[in-house]
A and B are shown apart, each in its own frame.
Chain A
Amino acid sequence: MTATVERPAEIVPREPVNKGREGWVRRAPLLPALVFTIIVTQLPFLFTIWYSLQSWNLVRPGSQQFVGLDNYVNVFTDSQFRGVALNTVVLTVGAVLIAMVLGLAFALLLDRQFRGRGVVRTLLITPFLITPVAAALLWKTVLFSPTYGLINFVLSPFGAGQTDWISAFPLTSVMVALVWQWTPFMMLLTLAGLQSQPHDVLEAARVDGAGSFAIFREITLPHLRRFIELGIVLGAIYLVNTFDAIYMMTQGGPGTASANLPFYIYQRAFLGFDIGQSAAMGVVVVVATIIVSTFALRLIFRSFQEES
């Protein structure tokens, strides 16, 4: 007996019933949040753009007038602004990278068994739990102070005498305080990465003849890549906005030697009362941040997708 096998009619996915209505049923509860977000983030940004097109100094009432892009031209020709922008990059990149290297080192130490590991871990996390203002004050007075600072005290036998660290190395001093505060964060992230590493892979590497350093380079570091990238991006997002440490330790000085963009904008707006100028700087900074963070976020999302 022969029978021709008939191809069944092609099956197409069935449209869900009430697709449109159900979509709105789901979306509607989100609307209040959306409206609120627009009010608190997008409207101020529009106002800022509007201010940035005006010449407006609060000290001179009635000075407000529309000047077009003049403020932007001033921003880009302002050498101080460029210097401060460079400070921001140096401070952010330096603090994030140094904190990451130290955090990774501490995480590797904490990843092994030893007596009192819980206590050591808690102590290492503590800097992250301290209020940034308090931490900055601590570094300024207890550690860096030229007269009674601990660092000079410890170094005095070596003839280091009376260095005023904050005046001599303002930007570095701020960076040191930031590294101290952010190392625990990097440590926690990389420690989580280390502890999520499957044990048998490490054992396989040992059997395959890899020494400790080879295992770290060939197996552990690639595994940690996405944790490190995440730490760098999150750390950069926070540290680019550093204000408290600079305010407490150096006031951006001497001159603008240790000012970063948020602090400089603050100075122009609330000490110089130049609303138009500072608004224009703010807009430039926001645009630059969006561009940089788009690339950064794309980078980490790509490596996360690779893994999953």
Chain B
Amino acid sequence: MADVVFDQASRVYTAGAKPAVDRLDLEIADGEFVVLVGPSGSGKSTALRMLAGLEEIDGGEIRIGGRTMVGVPSRDRDIAMVFQNYALYPNKTVGENMAFPLKMRGVEKSVQQEKVRAAADVLGLTDFLDRKPKALSGGQRQRVAMGRAIVREPQVFLMDEPLSNLDAKMRVSTRTEIAAMQRRLGVTTVYVTHDQVEAMTMGDRVALLADGRLQQFATPADLYDKPANRFVAGFIGSPAMNLFTLPVSAEGVHIGSSELRLPREVRGRISADTVTLGIRPEQWAVANGRGTAGGGADGVGGDGAGSGVKAQIDVVEELGSDAYLYAHLDDEEQTPVVVRTGGRTGARRGDQVVLTPTSEDLHLFDAESGERL
């Protein structure tokens, strides 16, 4: 068990080029499950590979349990890694695959077998120990890769998108299995994914990276409720948060042809004359645009259409429990907007609606820097 610290860790592939990982700072506590998430090319895998010793640490340092890892080969780092394509040894059986890290450490054969058997028991692989990886399904291979990692009892688990090759159903069940196993073993885990659902559900804390730089490192709830900047706001949440860059008025902001009034204390935070306003899809109330109640349970009529925004629905996605309305505002750019409502609203394509923010807790970002206000 150990804590992991990224201290201004950087990776530059070619001298002079933009770093793949740019002065990353993370402090991961002992036993914590941290997810690195970000779009492709954000440097999340590179950061993990630096921790694994598969990439150089060109600047700063990475410490595991207080010991610096600069110049330490991966085999001396006491880590175990699960790869995206599992990286099983094709000419070894499942049992030999799982025993390999122990064998390389010179563990006695009987101890090897005992540990492999115990891990195989936990993972439901007992019947497959003599098979070659080729004769296994994707989910089984994934479990072998997990098994190879846990027999080691390492200080840190590293997982590089371990679920991305599984089908949707398998991914959901394996997701919870991995999270539960990590809690049980209490081993510090760094998990890379591009899937924000995995990030939100699995991690104690989530580090969101973009362009090699850390955007925010917080608990999933904080990441959702208090995104540090416009990028985080747009990345976390599905459908994504509606982000509008709007001119500031006396009472609030101009949006479409109407004015959206903002509470006084919110308005106080704005200093420039434009501002980026973020409203999550579920933070809208929908009212029928022609005045008659049409929004069902979610329809909010009374608040006065004055603070609402007119919009026209383009597409309705019924998901059963919820429905997503994809609409555009009645401004010149026909700014698209997404609204999440309860299911069966009866809304249809072409309907005129009035959207009103329900929550006081709107997100404001500086229009220039994108930082949260």
Per DSSP, chain A at the interface is helix
Question: In A204-232, which residues have CB < 8 Å from any B CB?
Answer: 204-211, 214, 218-219, 222-223, 225
- Does A61 have its Cβ within 8 Å of any Cβ on chain B? no
The distance in angstroms between the C-alpha atoms of A219 and B79, with both chains bound, is 20
**B87 part of interface (Cβ distance < 8 Å):** yes
CA distance A214 to B73 in the complex (A): 15
- Whether A206 lies near B83 (C-beta < 8 A) is no
- Do B87 and A201 touch (CB < 8 A)? yes
In Å, the complex CA distance between A218 and B102 comes to 13
Q: With an 8 A cutoff between CB atoms, is A32 at the interface?
A: no
A210-B89 Cα distance, complex, nearest whole Å: 13
Question: Shortest beta-carbon distance, A126 to chain B, in Å?
Answer: 33
Tell me the smallest distance from the CB of B45 to a CB of chain A, in Å.
12
Name the one of B54, B104, B152 contacting A203, with C-beta atoms under 8 angstroms: B54
Which residues in window 168-218 of A have CB below 8 A to B? 198, 200-201, 203-211, 214, 218
Report chain B residues within 8 Å CB of A219. 89
Partner among A204, A209, A223 whose Cβ is within 8 Å of the Cβ of B87: A204
- Distance between Cα atoms of A78 and B53 in the complex (Å): 66
Within 8 Å CB of A218, what residues of B? 89, 92, 100
Contact with B along A15-37 (1 / 0, CB 8 A): 00000000000000000000000
Contacts of B90 in A (CB 8 A): 201, 223, 307
B104 touches A200 (CB 8 A): no
The CA of A169 and the CA of B90, in the complex, are separated in Å by 45
Question: With A and B bound together, what is the CA distance between A60 and B69 in angstroms?
Answer: 87
Proximity string of chain B (75-106) to chain A, C-beta cutoff 8 Å, 1 when within and 0 when not: 10001110111011111100000001100110
Whether A223 lies near B101 (C-beta < 8 A) is no
Give bound CA distance, A210 to B104, whole Å.
Answer: 6
Q: In the complex, what's the smallest C-beta–C-beta distance from A165 to chain B, in angstroms?
A: 42
Chain B nearest CB: distance from A196 CB in Å? Answer: 12
**Contact with A209, one of B52, B54, B92, B104 (Cβ below 8 angstroms):** B104
Task: Give B59-77 interface residues, CB cut-off 8 Å to A.
Answer: 73-75
Q: A201, B89: Cβ atoms under 8 Å?
A: yes
Q: A198-B85, A206-B74, A208-B75 are in contact. Are A214 and B104 (CB under 8 A)?
A: yes
Interface of B is mostly: loop
What bracket does the count of chain B residues touching chain A fall in?
Answer: 20 to 34
- Number of A interface residues, CB 8 Å? 19
Q: Is the CB of B87 within 8 A of A206?
A: no
Query: Are B80 and A207 within 8 A (Cβ)?
Result: yes
A222–B90 Cα distance when bound, in Å, is 9
Known: A214-B104, A222-B91. A207 touches B85 (CB 8 A): no
Nearest-CB distance from B16 to chain A (Å)?
Answer: 20
CB-contacts of B326-349 with A (<8 A): none
A208→B101 CA distance, assembly (Å): 5
Q: Which of B79, B89, B92 contacts A207 (CB 8 A)?
A: B79
The answer, yes or no, to whether B148 is at the interface (CB within 8 Å) is: yes
Q: Give the nearest-CB partner of A203 in chain B.
A: B54
CA distance A198 to B133 in the complex (A): 14
Q: Residue of A at shortest CB range from B76?
A: A209
- The answer to whether A207 and B74 touch (CB under 8 A), given A198-B85, A218-B100, is yes
Tell me which of A198, A209, A211, A223 contacts B91 (CB under 8 A).
A223
Question: Is the Cβ of B89 less than 8 Å from the Cβ of A200?
Answer: no
B53 cross-chain contacts in A, Cβ below 8 A:
206-207
Q: In the bound complex, how far is the Cα of B54 from the Cα of A205, in angstroms? A: 11
Contacts of B89 in A (CB 8 A): 201, 204-205, 218-219
**Distance of A205 Cα from B84 Cα, bound (Å):** 15
Least CB distance from A96 to B in Å reads 23
Distance A211 CA – B79 CA, assembled complex (angstroms):
15
Contact between chains at B87 and A210 (CB < 8 Å): no
Q: Is the CB of B105 within 8 A of A209?
A: yes
- Most chain B CB within a 10 A radius of its CB, from A200, A211, A219, A225: A200
Q: Please report the C-alpha to C-alpha distance between residue A307 and residue B89 in the assembled complex, in whole angstroms.
A: 12
A210 contacts across to B, CB distance below 8 A: 75, 100, 104
- Nearest CB to that of B158 among chain A residues? A207
Please measure, in the bound complex, the distance between the C-alpha atom of A38 and the C-alpha atom of B342, giving whole angstroms: 79
A218-B89, A223-B90 as given contacts; A206 in contact with B148, CB under 8 Å = no
B151 CB to nearest A CB, Å: 10
Task: Show the binding face of B for A, using Cβ within 8 Å.
Answer: 52-54, 73-75, 79-81, 83-85, 87-92, 100-101, 104-105, 148, 152, 158
**A contact residues vs B (CB 8 Å cutoff):** 198, 200-201, 203-211, 214, 218-219, 222-223, 225, 307
What are 23 A-to-B residue pairs whose CB atoms are below 8 Å? A198-B87, A200-B83, A200-B84, A201-B88, A201-B89, A204-B87, A204-B148, A205-B100, A206-B74, A207-B53, A207-B74, A207-B81, A208-B75, A208-B104, A208-B152, A209-B75, A209-B104, A209-B105, A210-B75, A210-B104, A218-B100, A223-B90, A225-B91
Q: Identify the 10 closest CB pairs spanning chains A and B, nearest first.
A: A204-B87, A209-B104, A200-B87, A208-B101, A222-B91, A209-B75, A207-B81, A200-B83, A207-B74, A210-B104
